[in-house]
C-alpha cells in the first residue's frame, strides 16, 4: 500500500490528528512499543519523584552527608537508565513512523534492533559512553565520537542530546547570573522590569532550541548526522514551520509538567488517600503518562516529516539510509547514501 507523504501545510491540530491516525493504523505495533519500552520509561520517570522525595524527606534524618551521597548515586543511576530508555524509545518510534511514510511494513522485532545500529557495532563501547555522560567528560565524549566515527543510533542520539544540554546550560547560567547581578545592584521596580525583559527572550531561545532539539533527535535516528551538524540542519529544516512546531512542543512540555505536578499532588501529597487509593491513582497516572509520552514521540517524528515535506525533500531517500532487513532482523545503516 503506497502512502502519501504528510501534507506540508498541516497545522497545529492537524499534526496531533496525524499522529493519532498513525497510532491507530498500526495500533498493534505501537501497543507493543508502549508496553515494552514507553511504560517502563514512564514508571521510571514518575517513580524517581517518589524515590527522591523519600530520600530527601525521610532517609537518614540525622546524617545529612549520607543522605546526599545516596541521593547523588540514585540520581546518576536514574540518569543513565532514563537516557537509555528514552533514546531506545525515540529510535524505535522514529523508525516506525519512517516505515509508515515510506510504505514499509514492519514489526516490533524488526524495529527494536535499530538502536544498536549496523551489525550491532560498538556494543562493547556502551560503558565508555555511559561514563562520559557526566558534564566534565563532555568534550572527551565529542573527541571519542569523532575518533570512532560512531555509526550507532544511540551514539548519535547521545551526542545530539548532550550538545543541546551544554548549550542550554550555558544560556541558563548566563540568564541566572545576570539576574543575580542586577538584583544585587538595584532594588524596587527596576529589578522586576529587568527580570521580565530578560525572561522573555530567554524563554523564546529556550522554546526555539527545544524545537530544534526535537527535530535533531529524529534526524539523528533517520539520517547520519549528529551533534552540531544535526542541530544546524534542524534549524534549516524548521524554517517556514517554526511557529507551528514551537507551539506543538511547548504544548507537550506544558502537558508533561502538569502531569508531573499532578502525580506529585495526587499520589505523594494527598493525605486523605489510603494506600489502596494511592496505588489505584498511581496506576491510572502511569498509564496516562505512558500514552502521552508515546503520542509525543510520534508527534516528534511527524513534525520532522512535515518539515521535510515543506521543503520538498524526498522522504523516500530515508529508505536508502535505513534499510529494514527482514533477514538480518535489524535496521541497517548504509555506509553511503
Which tens digits make up the pLDDT trace of 145-198? 444 444 467 778 888 888 888 888 999 999 998 888 888 777 777 778 888 888
Q: What is the pLDDT of residue 298?
A: 93
Cα gap 129→117, rounded to integer Å: 15
The cell numbers describing 230, all together, are 544535526
181-216 in b/e form (b: 16+ CB < 10 A) is eeeeeeeeeeeeebbeebeeebeeebbebbbbbbbb
> So what's the pLDDT on residue 299?
92
Reference 90, options 206, 220, 226, 253; nearest CA is 220
- Give the pLDDT of residue 260: 79
Name the residue with higher pLDDT: 275 or 196.
196
Rounded Cα gap, residues 181 and 326, in angstroms: 60
**Contact status, residue 187 vs residue 120, Cβ threshold 8 Å:** no
pTM: 0.77
Higher per-residue pLDDT: 272 or 329:
272
**Average per-residue pLDDT for the chain:** 75
Cell numbers standing for residue 121: 557495532
Give pLDDT, residue 296. Answer: 92
CB 244 within 8 A of CB 12: yes
Confidence band (pLDDT; 50, 70, 90) for 61?
low
C-alpha 209/C-alpha 185 separation (Å) is 31
β strands within the chain, DSSP E: 322-325, 330-333
- β-strands 330-333, 322-325: how paired? antiparallel
Q: Give mean pLDDT, residues 267-282.
A: 71
Q: Report the Cα–Cα distance between both ends of the chain, in Å, rounded.
A: 25
Mean pLDDT, to the nearest integer, of 109-124?
52
Q: Distance (Å, rounded) from C-alpha 74 to C-alpha 48?
A: 9
Question: Which residue, chain included where needed, has cell 509520552?
Answer: 293
Percent of the chain with pLDDT over 70: 73
Residue 127 has pLDDT above 90, yes or no: no
pLDDT band for position 208 (50/70/90)?
Answer: very high
Sign of the torsion angle spanned by Cα atoms 102, 107, 112, 113: negative
- Tell me what the mean pLDDT of segment 272-288 comes to: 78
pLDDT band at 35 (very low <50, low <70, confident <90, very high): confident
Listed range (45-49, 168-172, 207-211, 318-322) with the worst mean pLDDT: 318-322
Amino acid at each position: 500500500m503506497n502512502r502519501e507523504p504528510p501534507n506540508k501545510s498541516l497545522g497545529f491540530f492537524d499534526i496531533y490528528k496525524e499522529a493519532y491516525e498513525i497510532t491507530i493504523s498500526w495500533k498493534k505495533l505501537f501497543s507493543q512499543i508502549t508496553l515494552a519500552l514507553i511504560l517502563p520509561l514512564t514508571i521510571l520517570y514518575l517513580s524517581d519523584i517518589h524515590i527522591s522525595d523519600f530520600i530527601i524527606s525521610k532517609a537518614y534524618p540525622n546524617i545529612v552527608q549520607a543522605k546526599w551521597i545516596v541521593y547523588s548515586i540514585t540520581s546518576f543511576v536514574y540518569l543513565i537508565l532514563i537516557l537509555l530508555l528514552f533514546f531506545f524509545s525515540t529510535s524505535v518510534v522514529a523508525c516506525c513512523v519512517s516505515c509508515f511514510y515510506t510504505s514499509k511494513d514492519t514489526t516490533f522485532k524488526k524495529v527494536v534492533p535499530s538502536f544498536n545500529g549496523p551489525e550491532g557495532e560498538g556494543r562493547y563501547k556502551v560503558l565508555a559512553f555511559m561514563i562520559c555522560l557526566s558534564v566534565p567528560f563532555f568534550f572527551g565524549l565529542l573527541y571519542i565520537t569523532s575518533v570512532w566515527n560512531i555509526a550507532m543510533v544511540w551514539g548519535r542520539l547521545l551526542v545530539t542530546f548532550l550538545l543541546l544540554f551544554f548549550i542550554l546550560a550555558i544560556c541558563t547560567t548566563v540568564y541566572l547570573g545576570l539576574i543575580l547581578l542586577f538584583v544585587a545592584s538595584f532594588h524596587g521596580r527596576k529589578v522586576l522590569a529587568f527580570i521580565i525583559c530578560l525572561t522573555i527572550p530567554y524563554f523564546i531561545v529556550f522554546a526555539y532550541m527545544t524545537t530544534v532539539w526535537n527535530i535533531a533527535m529524529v534526524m539523528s535516528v533517520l539520517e547520519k548526522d549528529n551533534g552540531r551538524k544535526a542541530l544546524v540542519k534542524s534549524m534549516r529544516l524548521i524554517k517556514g514551520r517554526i511557529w507551528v512546531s514551537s507551539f506543538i512542543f511547548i504544548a507537550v512540555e506544558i502537558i508533561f509538567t502538569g502531569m508531573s505536578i499532578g502525580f506529585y499532588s495526587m499520589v505523594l501529597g494527598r493525605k486523605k488517600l489510603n494506600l489502596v487509593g494511592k496505588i489505584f491513582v498511581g496506576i491510572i497516572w502511569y498509564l496516562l503518562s505512558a500514552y502521552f509520552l508515546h503520542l509525543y514521540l510520534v508527534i516528534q517524528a511527524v513534525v520532522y516529516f512535515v518539515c521535510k515535506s515543506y521543503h520538498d525533500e524526498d522522504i523516500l531517500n530515508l529508505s536508502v539510509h535505513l534499510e529494514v532487513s527482514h533477514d538480518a532482523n535489524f535496521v541497517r545503516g548504509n555506509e553511503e547514501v
